[in-house]
């Protein structure tokens, strides 16, 4: 256990700046290219539903389960008061969760604590697995967690660091696109039960306000994460 603790708490040197920037470009390409986005969007959905679930637990709502679907959609079922702060926070947590997770990951990665980041991710995936209520969701989480654990176990630390940067950039960029897609669907009347519209019914604030708030949080997380991963003095050195 002492060796594990030392491994977790010992910062490791990050990759060169050009690799960090290359990882950012690669993540941006995955998010912006439609084909790769459809293949990878499920990872954002996992973070989205995880955000709902964690907030529900923190606000003392009863969590009934999580379902992940093959069309990259998902749903988190909770019980409790149908109105009030707990319900509002739970509904608001989904779209901002990937970006906030990316920001936290950027802080850990930039500080060299890649092992801690990977451990947290695997622990969260395991906890989420206990709440999954459909087969596709179980397979998705096992595949994601298994791949993460396998890469951590077999890959050299330098490779782990590069993959961590790539994953964090993906969360930061990938947290923005679903919000843009949400507003596009709402504009065409194709998302009447979206999180933003549920929040509109809960708070009497328009759905557009919540979409804008989601976008501001995601944008701030992206800027903050980029600053942590590529500090400006270093970038212009």
* pLDDT top residue among 13 and 96: 96
Residues 189-205 have a mean pLDDT of: 91
Could you tell me the two tokens for 215? 């976008």
State residue 115's pLDDT score.
Answer: 87
- Cβ–Cβ < 8 Å for 14, 168: no
Phi/psi at 45 (5° precision): -65, -40
State residue 5's pLDDT score.
Answer: 65
Phi/psi at 188 (5° precision): -100, 10
State residue 210's pLDDT score.
Answer: 97
In 3D space, the residue among 51, 66, 36, 47 whose CA is nearest the CA of residue 134 turns out to be 66
Residues 138-158 have a mean pLDDT of: 89
The tens digit of pLDDT for each residue in 203-224 reads 989 999 999 999 999 999 999 9
From CA 163, how far away is CA 152, in angstroms rounded? Answer: 10
* pLDDT top residue among 183 and 156: 183
- pLDDT above 70 for 233: no
> What's the half-sphere exposure (Cβ side, CA atoms, 13 Å) at 89?
14
Q: How confident is the model at residue 96 (pLDDT cuts 50, 70, 90)?
A: very high
By the 10 Å C-beta count (0-12 exposed, 13-18 middle, 19+ buried), 18 is classed as: exposed
Helices (H), the chain: 2-9, 17-32, 34-58, 85-110, 114-129, 135-154, 157-174, 177-187, 195-203, 207-229, 232-235
Could you tell me the two tokens for 108? 């850990």
State residue 128's pLDDT score.
Answer: 95
């Amino acid at each position: 256990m002492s060796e594990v603790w030392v491994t977790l708490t010992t910062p490791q040197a990050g990759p060169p700046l050009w690799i960090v920037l290359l990882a950012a470009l690669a993540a941006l390409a995955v998010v912006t290219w439609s084909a790769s986005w459809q293949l990878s969007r499920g990872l954002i959905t996992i973070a989205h539903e995880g955000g709902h679930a964690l907030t529900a637990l923190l606000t003392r709502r009863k969590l009934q389960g999580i379902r992940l679907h093959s069309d990259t959609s998902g749903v988190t079922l909770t019980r409790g008061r149908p109105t009030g702060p707990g319900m509002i926070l739970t509904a608001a947590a989904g779209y901002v969760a990937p970006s906030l997770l990316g920001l936290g990951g950027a802080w850990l990665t930039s500080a060299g604590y890649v092992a801690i980041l990977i451990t947290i991710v695997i622990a969260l995936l395991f906890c989420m697995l206990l709440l999954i209520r459909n087969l596709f969701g179980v397979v998705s989480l096992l595949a994601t967690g298994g791949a993460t654990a396998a890469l951590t176990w077999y890959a050299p630390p330098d490779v782990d660091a590069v993959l961590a940067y790539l994953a964090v950039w993906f969360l930061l960029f990938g947290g923005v696109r679903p919000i843009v897609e949400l507003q596009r669907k709402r504009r065409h009347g194709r998302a009447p039960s979206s999180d933003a519209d549920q929040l509109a019914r809960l708070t009497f604030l328009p759905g557009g306000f919540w979409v804008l708030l989601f976008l501001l949080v995601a944008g701030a997380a992206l800027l903050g994460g980029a600053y942590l991963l590529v500090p400006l003095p270093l970038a212009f050195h």
